[in-house]
Homo-oligomer: A and B are copies of this chain.
Amino acid sequence: MSPARRRVIPEATIARLPVYHRCLLQMQSEGRSKTSSEQLAEMAGVNAAKVRKDLSYFGSYGTRGVGYGVDHLLVEIRRELGLTHDWPCLIVGAGNLGSALAKFAGFSDRGFSVVAVVDIDPGRVGEQVGDLVIEHEERLAELVEEHGVVIGIITTPPAAAQDAADTLARAGVRSILNFAPTVLDLPVDVLVRDVDVAVELQILAFHEERRAAAAAAVEAAAAAAAAEQRRAANPATAS
List A residues at the B interface (Cβ < 8 Å): 1-2, 14-15, 17-19, 21-23, 43-45, 80-83, 87, 89, 96-97, 99-101, 103-104, 106-107, 110-112, 150-151, 174-177, 181, 183, 185, 191, 193, 195-209, 211-212, 217, 221
Main secondary structure of the interface of A (DSSP, over half): helix
Which B residue's beta carbon lies closest to that of A204? Answer: B175
Instruction: List 30 A-B residue pairs with CB atoms under 8 Å apart, sorted by A's residue number.
Output: A2-B217, A14-B206, A14-B207, A17-B202, A17-B206, A18-B199, A19-B199, A21-B202, A22-B181, A23-B183, A43-B183, A45-B183, A81-B202, A81-B205, A81-B209, A82-B205, A82-B209, A83-B202, A87-B205, A89-B201, A96-B100, A96-B103, A100-B100, A110-B201, A112-B198, A112-B201, A151-B204, A151-B208, A175-B207, A195-B197
